[in-house]
């Protein structure tokens, strides 16, 4: 029994554009503005351009290996098990934390408006009650994935259509409201230090939250095995990145234009103070302007976003667990497909239970943005393998579909992933690396992963290098190297040392000839 091929190009766009965008349209825009001022808009404009190169590597690999959880399998074909177990654990961490993150946002920005007891007013963290609500929300997402790809698709179409409508309504309403009521509307773009008050450093500091927002595009290759025609992957990924870019840039601009300094009691130009505002900023504007729709529209959106983003990421994360079962990093039972609903049901149940536990256990952990940074660091550590896997498989003659300018695309995608990991800074990088290491080592011992450790030395070395740079860089514990120099060093060493080393070591073995058998005829 295998997965059913049911998804069309339209379904992919709903998954990628509506399903993968959640509360980040609000808290992401707020964080970017706090780091870069109005240049946060530029960060969101640059992010899809940068992510486009990563998307091209997914297209190249997914067209040859259209598997469930494909990005968590590609490295096994190029470098063997050791590299792949690290990469797949990083991917799994990315997916495991997104549904709890959306549950956190829902409790913090919606439930707390009606029942303040879910939030600790001193820290802004979830209380015991808030954690229990977040746990329950995660478990509600499980049935929407359990009853098969058909039910999943119908749910996406209904909720996704409502989200698309809300994007348009909010964009028009928020823009008109800012123009009519906000005396600072256009001044915010040019006054108070100008468009880039914190310079290039501020712009780069805003890039991790912007790139986190675009990471949802990888859900498309994770569902590749269930796509009716695999050629839909190409326009699906490209249009997803473009669509996400339009939405995020729009809402980043709306946030900047909507900032009424008097309403927030913040000195004009003190953008960094928005890091201290835990409520949705639009709620303050609703109260000050006496406009209920400024309160209702964001809240309605967050309700829809919670469930859609939650169950889409849960579905994609379940496919990652299926991929890990096929690679023999977890119990084979996890890879079983339901005979009626054609989904990896044990993977779904286990994913839901772990996600619920994370929602509850991480409730006291301070900082929404800290969780985002840790998740982004882990995600891009996982993403970084694929550009190198792409070039190894090309040189070994294993690639039939090849995107143009492969060397340039691959090198650029690897450099971008390296910089995004570094820009997440300290302590996000070591936290992510520590969690990855513990899980990967435990699984490697239990499931006796002995193959490919020499081929993995470049990856382990690169992760150690990223951790070192985060430690000694301007945002690190030591603050030895200025930000600009540390950024340049990270990019140059990654490209000059680890990129070619990864390709050279990958060429030692023709791993794709061995591990294509893991699929058992899929």
Q: For residue range 416-443, what is the model confidence (pLDDT) as tens digits?
A: 999 999 988 888 888 889 999 999 999 9
69: left (phi over 0), alpha (psi -120 to 50) or beta: left
What separation, in Å, do the N-terminal and C-terminal C-alpha atoms of the chain show? 10
Q: For the residues 55-71, what does the mean pLDDT come to?
A: 94
Which residue is listed with tokens 């039939």? 400
Evaluated on CA atoms 93, 95, 101, 103, the torsion sign reads negative
Whether the pLDDT of residue 118 is over 60: the answer is: yes
Q: For the residues 204-228, what does the mean pLDDT come to?
A: 89
**Is the CATH code 1.20.1740.10 the one for domain 9-367+382-406+510-519?**
yes
The predicted-structure confidence for 437-452, as pLDDT tens digits, reads as follows 999 999 999 999 988 9
Q: Give yes or no for a cis peptide into 505 (omega within 30° of 0).
A: no
Q: Do residues 46 and 215 make contact, with C-beta atoms less than 8 angstroms apart?
A: no
Extents of the domains making up the chain: 9-367+382-406+510-519
Q: For the residues 361-368, what does the mean pLDDT come to?
A: 60
Helices (H), 215-292: 219-222, 233-258, 261-264, 281-289
pLDDT value at residue 368: 57
Q: For the residues 348-372, what does the mean pLDDT come to?
A: 76
242 vs 141, residue with greater confidence: 242
Cα(63)–Cα(65) distance, rounded to whole angstroms?
Answer: 6
Range with top average pLDDT, 337-351, 367-381, 488-502: 488-502
**Mean predicted lDDT score pLDDT of the chain:** 89
Total number of residues shown for the chain: 522
Cα(88)–Cα(96) distance, rounded to whole angstroms?
Answer: 12
Cα(475)–Cα(423) distance, rounded to whole angstroms?
Answer: 8
33 vs 148, residue with greater confidence: 33
DSSP character for 7?
A: B
Whether the pLDDT of residue 518 is over 80: the answer is: no
Residue percentage of the chain with pLDDT more than 70: 97
Picking from 450, 446, 193, 216, the residue whose alpha carbon sits closest to that of residue 310 is 216
pLDDT value at residue 389: 96
Cα(518)–Cα(522) distance, rounded to whole angstroms?
Answer: 9
Q: For the residues 10-32, what does the mean pLDDT come to?
A: 88
The predicted-structure confidence for 270-279, as pLDDT tens digits, reads as follows 999 998 887 8
The model's confidence at residue 85, banded by pLDDT at 50, 70 and 90, is very high
Whether the pLDDT of residue 82 is over 80: the answer is: yes
The model's confidence at residue 250, banded by pLDDT at 50, 70 and 90, is very high
pLDDT value at residue 521: 46
Whether the pLDDT of residue 386 is over 90: the answer is: yes
pLDDT value at residue 35: 93
């Amino acid at each position: 029994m295998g997965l059913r091929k049911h998804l069309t190009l339209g379904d992919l766009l709903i998954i990628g554009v509506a399903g993968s965008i959640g509360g980040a349209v609000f808290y992401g825009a707020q964080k970017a503005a706090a780091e870069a001022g109005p240049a946060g808009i530029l960060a969101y404009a640059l992010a899809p351009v940068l992510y486009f190169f990563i998307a091209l590597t997914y297209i190249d690999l997914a067209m040859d290996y259209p598997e469930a959880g494909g990005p968590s399998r590609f490295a096994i074909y190029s470098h063997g098990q050791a590299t792949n177990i690290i990469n797949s654990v990083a991917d799994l961490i990315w997916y495991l934390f997104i549904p709890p993150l959306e549950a956190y946002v829902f409790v913090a920005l919606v439930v707390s408006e009606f029942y303040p007891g879910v939030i600790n007013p001193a820290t802004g963290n979830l209380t015991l009650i808030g954690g229990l609500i977040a746990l329950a929300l995660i478990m509600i997402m499980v049935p929407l994935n359990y009853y098969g790809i058909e039910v999943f698709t119908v749910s996406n179409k209904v909720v996704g259509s409502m989200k698309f409508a809300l994007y348009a309504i909010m964009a028009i309403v928020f823009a008109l409201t800012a123009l009519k009521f906000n005396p600072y509307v256009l001044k915010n773009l040019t006054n108070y230090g100008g468009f880039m008050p914190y310079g290039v450093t501020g712009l780069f500091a805003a890039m991790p939250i912007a790139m986190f927002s675009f990471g949802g595009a990888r859900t498309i290759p994770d569902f590749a095995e269930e796509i009716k025609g695999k050629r839909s992957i190409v326009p699906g990924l490209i249009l997803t990145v473009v669509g996400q870019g339009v939405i995020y840039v729009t809402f980043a601009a709306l946030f900047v234009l909507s900032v009424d300094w008097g309403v927030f009691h913040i000195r004009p130009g003190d953008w960094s103070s928005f890091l201290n505002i835990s409520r949705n900023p639009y709620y303050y504007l609703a109260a000050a302007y006496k406009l209920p729709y400024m309160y209702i529209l964001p809240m309605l959106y967050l309700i829809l976003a919670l469930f859609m983003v939650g169950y889409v990421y849960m579905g994609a994360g379940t496919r990652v667990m299926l991929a890990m079962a096929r690679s023999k990093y977890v119990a084979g039972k996890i890879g079983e497909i339901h005979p009626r609903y054609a989904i990896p049901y044990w993977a779904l149940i286990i994913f839901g239970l772990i996600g619920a536990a994370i929602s509850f256990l991480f409730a006291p952990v301070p900082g929404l943005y800290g969780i985002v940074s840790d998740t982004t660091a882990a995600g891009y550590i996982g993403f970084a393998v694929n550009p190198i896997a792409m070039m190894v498989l090309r040189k070994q003659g294993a690639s039939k579909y090849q995107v143009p300018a492969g060397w340039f695309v691959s090198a650029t995608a690897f450099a971008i992933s390296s910089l995004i990991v570094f820009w997440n800074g300290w302590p996000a990088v070591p936290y992510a690396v520590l969690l990855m290491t513990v899980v990967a080592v435990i699984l490697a011992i239990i499931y006796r992963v002995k193959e490919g450790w020499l081929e993995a030395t470049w990856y382990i070395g690169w992760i150690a290098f990223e951790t070192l740079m985060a430690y000694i860089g301007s945002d690190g514990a030591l603050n030895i190297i200025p930000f600009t120099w540390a950024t340049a060093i990270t990019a140059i060493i990654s490209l000059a040392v680890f990129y070619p080393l990864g390709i050279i070591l990958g060429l030692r073995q023709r791993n794709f000839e061995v591990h294509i058998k893991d699929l058992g005829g899929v």
